Structure 1
Amino acid sequence: MKLVVITGEKTCEQEVETLLEILKLGVRVHVRKPGWPDSVLEAYLRQIPERFSNQMSLHGSVQLAEKFGMGLHLKSDQQKPHDWSDMISKSFHRVEEILEYAHALHYGFLSPIYDSISKREHYAGFTKEQLELAVPSMQQKMQLYALGGITPDKLDELKMTGFLGVAIMGAIWSHNRMADRMRTMEKFISHG
């Protein structure tokens, strides 16, 4: 099962160091910092060696993704740039959005699958039965990754449902210490 780690909205202690260790494991990283001005986001991205750019995607900013040679992740209401040819993914919150989406993507996130770890009052949007019925037809449109409340113990269930990957955020960034974040990453990798 493929893994993607999404940064937390706010910066935490040893965040960049944690990202570097995750990137060294070969895991794809999505940088998601809503509300950050491009100048601050650019300074953040400059802390990560260029050799990892092909393992990273940036949420929202086409210009910075292009500048740093990273993939682009579209928000649910954002459209694919016409001339974009690099890695591209998108967030979806309803099955119908995926089935109606007409553009080619490398993969898409469907959320929230479970109650969110990082966003209070962000509850599961689908029943297990709905997912078992819908995921196979959605996989015909694009590679589909589960997002929202993902923990290592849920990977087997998600595989059986038909997801090809998971995007994780709260399970990693809810830990204050880098060592605990990396222990959780190891659990994801060993279960994946």
Structure 2
Amino acid sequence: MQKVILSNPTDFDGEISIIEQLLMDESLIFHLRKPGKSLKEYEDFLRQIQPKCYRKIVLHSHYELINKYNVKGVHFTETFRQSIDDATLFNTVKMLRKHRLSVSCSLHTLNAIENLSFKADYVFLSPILKSISKTDYVGVFTMDELQFYFHVRKSNTPVYALGGIREENRAFLERIGFQGYVLMGSVWEKYFQAEN
């Protein structure tokens, strides 16, 4: 089962060193999501990470940086997907594939997985459980609904659970049918608690 860690949305002291330590796990994929950062700020952040780690990093914005850094791939946000037409999206995915980059996106309904207009390497489905980092973000799927979906679905795109996920949820999520899981709040809360 694939494990993904999503960066903390805001910067904090010692973050780069923690990211590099996490990336020592060979099986891990790291998603760099820093909403609100300008291209320069995002690139400055990325440049602080050792280049040997780049091939495990997926960018959530400022996709033009794929031309300068040897990253793993890109993650299309819902905002980005809604800002372009299907033909442009298709051509963008085609170009990314040509460069051997992974393509993923975030979805919030089961129908969206079935109706995705391009072939993704994997998708995040959220929210699955009550969020750890966002107090008003609660799970919207029943476990029965998810199990039924994975039993009858037509799409073979790997689906990764996001929202309220902890490492100890892994076996439970695998039984439901997920192919991966995304950690965010459960990872970063440890470091914030250690500071206090």
* Superimposed CA distance per residue, residues 112-160 of structure 1 (whole angstroms, 9 cap, x where no aligned partner): 0001101110010111111111134557331111000001221111000
Residues 18 and 178 of structure 1 are in contact (CA less than 8 Å); yes or no, is this contact kept in structure 2?
Answer: no
Q: Output the amino acid matched with 1:151.
A: R
Pairing of 1:1-192 with structure 2 (within 5 A): 1-26=1-26, 27-70=28-71, 71-79=73-81, 80=89, 81-82=92-93, 83-85=95-97, 86-138=101-153, 140-176=155-191
Cα distance in 2, alignment partners of residues 119 and 131 from structure 1: 22
* Superimposed CA distance per residue, residues 72-125 of structure 1 (whole angstroms, 9 cap, x where no aligned partner): 001124334242211111000111111101211111100000011011100101
Moved more, 34-43 or 150-159: 150-159
Where relative contact order (Cα < 8 A, 6+ residues apart) is larger, the structure is 1
The structure that has the greater radius of gyration is 2
TM-score by structure 1 length? 0.87
Relative to structure 1, the CA distance from residue 61 to residue 136 in structure 2 (aligned partners, 3 Å threshold; closer, same or farther) is: farther
Cα distance in 2, alignment partners of residues 138 and 98 from structure 1: 9
Residue matched to 2:84: none
Q: Output the amino acid matched with 1:170.
A: G
Residues 29 and 56 of structure 2 are in contact (CA less than 8 Å); yes or no, is this contact kept in structure 1?
Answer: yes
Residues 108 and 125 of structure 2 are in contact (CA less than 8 Å); yes or no, is this contact kept in structure 1?
Answer: yes
Cα distance in 1, alignment partners of residues 130 and 175 from structure 2: 19
Unaligned stretches of 5+ residues in structure 1: 181-192
Identity %: 28
Unaligned stretches of 5+ residues in structure 2: 82-88
Q: Output the amino acid matched with 1:24.
A: M
Name the SS for the 1:24 alignment partner. coil
Deviation at 1:56, TM superposition (A): 0.7
TM-score by structure 2 length? 0.85
Counting matched residue pairs gives 180
Cα distance in 2, alignment partners of residues 47 and 90 from structure 1: 25
